[in-house]
Amino acid sequence: MSDPAEGSTQDDEWTDPLLLSVRHLTRYDYHDDVWDSFNEARLQPVSDTAQECREFHLRVEPTATSLRDYPDFYGNCVHYFDVPQKHARLEVEAFSRVATCADTRGPIPAVNPPSALKDHAEVEDYFDFLNDSHFVSLDKEVWRESIDALPTG
């Protein structure tokens, strides 16, 4: 590794953890009072080979009856809660401390040609991302833009 005073080069390997403090606030202001509000939040950073979630706190205001969690299909922690009392505002605030490490997972696997996505193993791995939704279409223009955005195509 080069001397930090000389600046870094592209070939330098990053080995020191990067410590991050993250605050995420979602606030809902309702036009009228609401009650029996049922909610899910995916705000807790995952711990894996690239990062470690060292601390996590979730605040819900007004106070939820009970805060529970379960892991989703991708291993994310899903917190779910309900607020039965009347309220005109809901705040969900997450505080996290995360230590990142050098990513040893390697490059994103290429799927070339796109017809390879019809292979059973690829469909299983990428199923959720291979279908249109009303938020994201998979038409040819979007496909071309995504290929142009990647450095390796």
Q: Which pLDDT belongs to residue 148?
A: 78
| pLDDT tens digit sequence for 124-141 | 667 777 777 777 777 778
Q: Which two tokens stand for residue 10?
A: 């592209």
Count Cβ atoms below 10 Å from residue 83 Cβ, excluding itself: 19
Asked whether the bond before 62 is cis by omega within 30 degrees of 0, the reply is yes
Count Cβ neighbours within 10 Å for each residue of 129-141 and write b for 16 or more, e otherwise: eeeeeeeeeeeee
| pLDDT tens digit sequence for 81-101 | 999 999 999 999 999 999 998
Give the pTM.
Answer: 0.64
| Phi, psi for residue 5 in degrees, rounded to 5 | -70, -25
Q: Write out residues in the chain with pLDDT < 70, as ranges.
A: 1-14, 105, 108-125, 152-153
